[in-house]
Amino acid sequence: IIFSSTIPIKYDILNELYTLTNDEVVVAMRYGDDMKALFNYPSQATDETQWRCEELQTRPKQIFDIALYRKVASKVGVEHV
Residue 30 placed within a domain: yes
Taking the C-alpha atoms of residue 64 and residue 4, their distance in angstroms, rounded to an integer, is: 10
> At 71, is the pLDDT very low, low, confident or very high (cuts 50, 70, 90)?
very high
Buried b / exposed e over 14-42, threshold 16 CB at 10 Å, is beebbeeeeeeeebebbbbeeebeeebbe
The number of distinct structural domains making up the chain is 1
pLDDT (tens digit per residue) in 13-68: 999 999 999 999 999 999 999 999 999 999 999 999 999 999 999 999 999 999 99
Residue 79 placed within a domain: no
Which range marks the domain in which residue 39 is found?
2-71
Residue 25 placed within a domain: yes
Per the confidence metrics, is the pTM higher than 0.75?
yes
Alpha-carbon 22 to chain mean position:
15
Residue 77 placed within a domain: no
Taking the C-alpha atoms of residue 33 and residue 26, their distance in angstroms, rounded to an integer, is: 21
Amino acid at the residue 79: E
